[in-house]
Amino acid sequence: MEQRGSPDRTRSLVLAGATDVVTRSRDFVRRALAAWNWLPAASQAEQEAAEDVLLLVSEVVANACLHGGGPGALRLHCTEERLRIEVTDGNPAPPVPVRARAGQPGGHGLLIVERLASRWGYRPWRDGKCVWLEVAVPAPIRNQVRR
């Protein structure tokens, strides 16, 4: 993945060929959030924001496993205003939110992304795609980044 921004505010994790990628991804993101002062959370709102990020990462990595032939990499880039999450996979087909049918499991991953992310989308990436999403940085954490 291309490198942008300050290296201390950008983190990448190679997932190609790894096992237990959802757990690895969540642990990686949890460590990054702690380094960026999202964790431990000082307020309920900050805790919920961190939990939303972990859920979003779980969803996009799981979708890469289910529909993209497995994730290639996970990249985080945190600015004063937003956290951008990117996951690459080997399937060039665009992600499509699936409206689950009553009584059938699954199909809610991108609906969760649509609800919790400020913005999301995808772009072509090598022989597949990169699914990206952004979440707003909570105000108290934003104030720490400015310092």
pLDDT tens digit string along 39-94? 998 899 999 999 999 999 999 999 999 999 999 999 999 999 999 999 999 999 99
pLDDT higher at 36 or 144? 36
Residues 6+ apart with CB under 8 A from 71: 15, 16, 21, 25, 61, 64, 65, 87, 88, 89
**Tokens linked to 132:** 């990206």
In total, how many domains does the chain have?
1
Domain assignment of residue 101, yes or no = yes
Domain assignment of residue 4, yes or no = no
Domain assignment of residue 22, yes or no = yes
Which residues span the domain enclosing 80?
10-146
Q: Is 29 helix (H, G, I), strand (E, B) or coil?
A: helix
- Identify the CATH number of the domain in which residue 85 sits: 3.30.565.10
What is the percent of the chain with per-residue pLDDT over 90, rounded to a whole number?
Answer: 74
Domain assignment of residue 140, yes or no = yes
Q: In this structure, are strands 82-89 and 119-125 parallel, antiparallel, or unpaired?
A: unpaired
The H or E element that residue 15 is part of is none
Domain assignment of residue 110, yes or no = yes
- For residue 116, is pLDDT > 50? yes
